[in-house]
Amino acid sequence: MSAAGVALMLGGAGILLAATPAQAAEITFKTECIPPAISNLPPIQGETTVAITAPATAKVGDTVDISWKTVKAASKNPDVLDLNKDVVQPSGNVTVGGAQSGTVAVQGPRQNPPIPKNSQMVLSEMKGKLKIEKAGDITLTPDKYTINVNQIMTTETKCSPKETVKAAATIKVEGGGSTTGGATTGGATTGGATTGGATTTGGATTTGGATTGGSGGQTDFPGKAVDVTYDCGAVVPGGIKTPVTISAKKNGGAYALTVKTAKGAMASPMALPAGALKPSMNIKLGGADSGTVKVTGPANAEPIPDKAPVSLSDMSGTYTPGKTGKVTLSPDQLTIDVTMSAGAPPINVPCKATTSGVSLELDTAAQPGGSGTSGTSGSAAAAAGGLAETGASDDGGIKALALVAGTVVLLGGAVFTFTPWRRLRGTR
């Protein structure tokens, strides 16, 4: 063996010897799982077995990986329907105790084998990160978790411990480097991102999660995702909920806005033609400015096969400040135009934002012709909260309403389907 080969082998051995071994420990605890309300099923009492994996040792200042493997979930797939492959996504919390306190949020990919009715749920491995802040023994204890299923529609089963749970893993922490990168909440970093405190990046200051566009020549201002709840009236009973992110790019005195919703987490209940779904949204201005800015997105360019994942397109528009000062931008009314065939009038589905939040804050300078005025949502029908006029007779109006009721309203992992689809299949 050459000298270089020996050196490489010894160097590799040194690395292996220096690596901190990970530990995996299983813990079982009594659990109550609350099925989704739509299932009309009672709470489920069972036991959850979890294996928590973490490094055996660490130093202050380290960021370590935490994993949660569900050996056995407390609930089974009920006697409702067989679950398809890759429709289940778990998320949960790991409680941090001992020398440091807080919570680590963990999440797994939407990945599972087919799960027949009345069989054990199979959950993917969940992962998160913990920033080590203090020396001593840090304990990790599994806590509540959620099972999200996206098949036909999105549902969640929420599970929580019904007894005091023992720690599943312990990290022995030596004194070391100081912590950097901002403050943490309760000493824990959630999902690898630091929460609480304010950090500055490229001139943009994050305060309480909302991004503030600073000075210093910065042109790109990324916003934070905020959960928005929409009330679409009788078209979508129960409404829909999705994270929405507003980002801006400065162009002279104006800002080019881009608005994104959750992507690809829903399935179409039937084949949809190209151009079937076209979204638009009002962005509400607050702080120094007022009014709304409308953003629109293109319709789907390609046909959408039956049961295929579907996303709303990104929406864009321009905000020209009407006032000088700090201006907040929040998601407001969403409108989806549904066109089932070329040349047919679009069916307008207005969805009012009942809860929202600030996604972006900008330091603005007033511009001529600024946007500090009330905006519109697009059509008179949307403003009135009703359906667009189709020009048909009463019978045609009923059919249009049935089409809307059967239309998928696709947003943020929610999909709603109704029985008129079956009748429409036979009449299209």
- Residue ranges of domains in the chain: 22-174, 203-427
Per-residue confidence band for 281, with pLDDT thresholds at 50, 70 and 90: very high
What's the CATH number of domain 22-174, 3.30.360.10, 2.30.30.240, 1.10.1750.10, 2.60.40.2270? 2.60.40.2270
Under DSSP, the state recorded for 427 is H
pLDDT (0 to 100) of residue 230: 86
pLDDT at 419 over 80: no
Provide the 10 A C-beta neighbour count for residue 386: 13
pLDDT class of 149 with cuts at 50, 70, 90: very high
**pLDDT tens-digit profile of 55-93?**
999 999 999 999 999 999 998 888 878 999 999 999 999
Query: 356-410 pLDDT, tens per residue?
Result: 999 999 999 999 888 654 343 333 333 333 333 333 333 333 333 334 444 444 4
pLDDT in tens, 308-366: 777 889 999 999 999 999 999 999 999 988 887 777 788 888 989 999 999 999 999 99
State mean pLDDT over 280-298: 94
Segment 173-205, tens digit of pLDDT:
987 544 433 333 333 333 333 333 333 333 444
How many angstroms separate the CA atoms of 95 and 105, rounded?
9
**What is the identity of the amino acid at 11?**
G
Question: So what's the pLDDT on residue 302?
Answer: 87
User: Quick one: what percent of the chain has pLDDT higher than 70?
Assistant: 68
pTM (2 d.p.)? 0.44
Enumerate residues 6+ apart whose C-beta is below 8 A from 90.
Answer: 70, 107, 108, 123, 124, 126, 145, 146, 147, 148
Say if CB 309 and CB 264 are below 8 A apart.
Answer: yes
